[in-house]
Structure 1
Amino acid sequence: MDRFVGNIAGIGTAAGTRLVVGLWGDSPLGAFTDVMVEDDDGQRTLLAPNQAVADYVSATYTFDQIQVVDVVSTLDDHRLTLSAGPLELTAGIGGVTGLGRLLGLVPGRVATSPRWLSLINPVAGLVMPGVHTAGSAGNGRTEYYGVTTAVNITTASVRWHGKDQGALARLSPPVRFGFSSAPAAPMLVTVVTSIKRPSA
């Protein structure tokens, strides 16, 4: 079981460009940040910091275009900043969401357990349409999202290929990189993503 420990930010824009930013502090590929972008035409792009990340992520999710670019990111309690090839992002971080408070009631070891995540998957889809905690990924892989807390993203400035993408908005329609979308409301979650490969 490959485990990726870190944060995922889901951000929508008024122009229709939607971002899913993965900030991974601990993973089989080391610490890295990658970005999945879907524009208003439905074009799905992966921005990866190196070929190893590009190969792993593109074997798990579906993209129309893959770019290996320099990725520089910072994250603290108040702000997320990111530069990744054609993408520039600054986002404001707010307080814990209602979902985050509920998640805080579940012990972390349980919240990230694949068995628990398989059990609650049907409920997750009802509470947040398009969101799943367990499912089939690419190349026969099975993936589990164990979220332990969630905070609001309150503001965002996004430039994609040099164009301002407008005000922060919901991730609507849901992104289509894998079996699960990020939540519609812009937020940053703390997560353990577990991926079981067929050889495992």
Structure 2
Amino acid sequence: MSPSNETTERRFRGRILGAGSTSGVRFVVGMWDASPFGAFTDVFVELPDGSSVLLAPDEIVAAYVSGTYRFDAVSVVDISARRTARGLELDAGPLVASVDVGAISPLGRVLRIVPKRIARDPRWLTVIDPVAKLVAPGAGTAGTAGNGRREYYGVTGAHDVVGVRGTWAGEPLGELAPLDPPVRFGFASLPRIPQVVDVETTIRERA
């Protein structure tokens, strides 16, 4: 019997926050309001030595996310991400951080031009991927993921991250720094300038 050509789609809608620190710890927080696994938060961390860690809220999320992206280690921990007037309070096992979020970013103003329905469409995201990589080196809107999956990032809004305080494994993160070099969990990073973006991620895979 020949392999099935049918595909299924999984959609994750929420926000992604990316920031670097002067300690060399860089992290990406996914805060998903709607997903095939319900609402959840996960955290991707890249350490100064280049090693990567996934912090996931349960084994199901850990299995799916680690099958889509690349990590050197996976930890299931209690994760709390609480929005505040200043931004975000994050408690995720070894990572504890307070993140300050500022005004809409220049990228966010550009994104307002495209209607959200179009901005989330994988066909549009495939077409604009080369442009996205020029505008934000290291970033991308369409690419391959683990286990033969295809992934699309439909970003519809963006705000600057303007401050960070906290610890990794009990050691201070230091001050906010660019997300540089780009993180390497999947086919694309976030922009070099720390930001939080509104996004719908679509993952296609064989049925």
Q: Into which bin does the TM-score normalised by the smaller protein fall?
A: over 0.9
- Report what 1:128 is aligned to: 136
Question: Structure 2 CA distance, aligned partners of 1:115 and 1:77?
Answer: 36
The yes-or-no answer on 1:105 pairing with 2:113 is yes
SS at match of 1:129: coil
Question: Structure 2 CA distance, aligned partners of 1:183 and 1:197?
Answer: 26
Instruction: Give the counterpart of 2:159 among 134, 151, 160.
Output: 151
Q: TM-score under structure 1 normalisation?
A: 0.98
**How many residue pairs are counted as aligned between the two chains?**
199
Residues 42-99 of structure 1: CA distance to partner in whole angstroms, max 9, x if unpaired?
A: 1100000000100010010000000000001112453111101111010011000111
Letter in 2 for 1:169: A
The yes-or-no answer on 1:39 pairing with 2:47 is yes
Question: Structure 1 CA distance, aligned partners of 2:88 and 2:13?
Answer: 17
Question: Structure 1 CA distance, aligned partners of 2:111 and 2:151?
Answer: 19
The yes-or-no answer on 1:70 pairing with 2:78 is yes
Question: Structure 1 CA distance, aligned partners of 2:128 and 2:185?
Answer: 21
Change (3 A) 1:148 1:177: same
SS at match of 2:124: helix
Question: Structure 2 CA distance, aligned partners of 1:109 and 1:74?
Answer: 28
Gaps of 5+ in 2: 1-8
Computed over aligned residues only, the root mean square deviation of the Cα atoms, in angstroms, reads 0.8
User: Aligned residues: percent identity?
Assistant: 51
Alignment of 1:162-181 (within 5 A): 162-181=170-189
Letter in 2 for 1:116: W
Alignment of 1:51-70 (within 5 A): 51-70=59-78
Question: Structure 1 CA distance, aligned partners of 2:115 and 2:189?
Answer: 24
Q: TM-score under structure 2 normalisation?
A: 0.95
* CA displacement at 1:24 relative to structure 2: 0.2
Letter in 1 for 2:174: G
- Report what 2:168 is aligned to: 160
